[in-house]
Structure 1
Amino acid sequence: MGEKWRQRLPQIRRQVRRERLLLLLLTLVGLIALVSGVAWVPVVLAWALLVIVVLLRKPDDATAPVPVVVEEDVLNYDPLPPIAATLGAYDTPGFVLANDASVLFQNRAAEVAFGSLPFGSHLTARIRSPGILDMVRDAITSDEPDQLEHSERLPSERVFIARIAPIPVVEPEGMSISADRRKLYLLSFRDISELRRLDRMRSDFVANASHELRTPLASLRGFIETLQGPAKGDPAAQERFLSIMLEQATRMSRLVDDLMSLSRLELKSHIAPDQRIDLKPVLSHVRDALLPLSDDLGVEIRMHLPQEPVEVLGDRDELVQVFENLIENACKYGQDGKVVDVHLKGGGDEPAEVIVTDRGPGIPSEHVPRLTERFYRVSVADSRSKKGTGLGLAIVKHILTRHRARLIVRSQVGEGSEFTVRF
């Protein structure tokens, strides 16, 4: 019985604070009655009865704190549900752990990333990394946050920043928290796989660009030194070397131009163009611009265009660059077939397609998936002999990504290649 009244004391104190003015008024009235000569026994009984009524009275204001607290809630307040509700809204994998590293909650992102764990299971049932388990154990022991970088190899390579930190648990007034809920910890995983991939791409890009520029620069330096030395008085050698130097300088200029194009495209890759462009005049313009090259190579460019316009949302200059790259490549690398066919299809309710087909030697299947990578070449010697920079198809891919279009490559060795741009 004494324990029951001890538990109700916080409620009684709150009610006294809330009704202190009324209680003071009742006490004052009782004192006045006593001073006036009224018998003290009925005055005290009446005063006590009124005080009890006041203390048990429910507040009129709906916004006032509810004075009645269920005894079970007072003893067993659980801080886990609000923490779980908040963590459940996050798209970052997260676990709520008890002080023995058992899993009290995991959000949907954690289930997708690591699989589902039954309530109360130990963390080792799903995560076997010694580094993470050591970090969790040390954090629980020291009650300090910690983090490390964690890699997953299967089913695919992923990199996470794993972090554990204690969750501040505040005991509400008049309530107590069980011992197993006083210490909770949040183990979260931030996926940085894409950042790592971009870092590798950036490093590879810088290395490849440096290599591509180093070769013509070394060639220029060698010829300049030769012209200043042994060939200083040889007009024939000077003319030959200057011609080669001009070719190397032109190659570097093309490479720098392509690098600048890629940089510009990356800056606005998230902005889709909104102009309506008719592809028929675009393709006709590209054919006219490439006629001198095709004549030199002995290749005929055949256009297969419909009668009606075929419009897409796009940027005219960028689309010209796309089709110049594709048709120029078809002329250079498929010149043995002597013919390049360009088909324009679609329009109206059908998706627009531009198909560039050559009858050259074709591309081995293992190279096809990597054709749009920067500086990737099926044959380095063949590409450089045709004055390629290794960036043409990478530029095509970036432009088409901005246009929400796809590049589809089909090729068989000995049967030529087909490049399809589908909007």
Structure 2
Amino acid sequence: MTKHTRHKAAMIGRCLTVMAVMIASSCERIDIYEPDSEASLADINLIYDWGKYAGQKSDEMYVITARLNETSHTYFVTDSNSLFLYESPYSPFIEDNVVDKQPADTLAADTTVTDSVTVPNDTIPTANGKESFKILNGDYSILVVSKDDYTEVVPLVDFVTRPEAIGMKDLSMTYNEITDDSMMPTIDGHPWIDRNPGYKFISNSGPKFMAKNIKMTFTNGNASGERLLGFERLTQNIRFNFTIRVTAEDGDSISIGEDGVVAEISGVVPSIKLVDETMQAVSLKRMFLDGKATQTSHAAGWAEYSYEGHIDAFTIIAGADDDVVSGPGILRIGIGLTVIDSDGNETSHVISATQNICPEITSARLTTIGTDGRTLTQATKDASIRVGDRLDIDATEIAQGNSNGISGWDEMEIEEEI
């Protein structure tokens, strides 16, 4: 065989080999995201810095990632110490992107239920979490935000499954409405009577946190991949204070239990954009305050109680009318009272009182308005609202079932004797 013939045969052999590979490949799925492609993966390892904050934290945090220059989005879930618990059920690292929603007792032995989805066990760390997860090499924009049962990041699923249409700028944190009556408070066993039904309740479930505008590059073999993240509160802490004065004729007495006061506030903004932290005053909700009344002074025939309560919320909005007792900016309380008359007869009552505190909310300067005249941003992370008008309760009148025994606020009535 001549040199030319041998060269020609070799070229034909190479072509046949390439064709065979192409034919074989056409029968298989080629996925650059396969988790065994170690050369294309790097470890993501984060350290959370809570600074001097020692208060309530979310048990879990979303780590939301967008790979720059390529439309590839996913998310992970960590605990408050940055240990990874699991990754998105829609992540390319989970084989075939299969998500089976089924009861735990019907699951195969090699699967685990996490966050209401079923994913292969090899994507789930131990119960204590693990320090890192695999992520594609590349440049990323990362956002870390609180995760709990009372809020949702929306549209997070579309962010992962439709990355060409949904970006980080489209993500919002939104409170879920309370639909379970068992989550509603009671006053001495008496159910809460709803006087402002146009506004649904959302949960006063503690502060939410976020770390954003994080740009990171992850490469295979990159030291430890550790990044230090500092958090800021996404919610405002708004404190409320008002005074209750109770009086009684000689021989009569009245008392308020330690947990005998329940308060709600309307006009709570339920949603906030994560990237720019803007809000709109639409679909406003209500929250119950976390607080209690404490006796601060007393003498023969009278006692004063100071109520201190707070909400952690994106913000609250005042209504335009200071004279109404429904709508946004309305504080409503229920009080459980025990009255003992001069003959020793004891009766228990639940009374309600409503106060329009729109002027106080406006004075607190909670928000600033954007140039478009519609969007709002928080002007502060902490605020106090003091209700100036004292609520006065006359034990003797209440014992006789007389609503005139309550005065000082916009609307007051005896709900029920129990």
- Report the TM-score when normalising by structure 2: 0.26
Structure with the bigger percentage of strand: 2
Bigger radius of gyration among the two:
1
- Report the TM-score when normalising by structure 1: 0.26
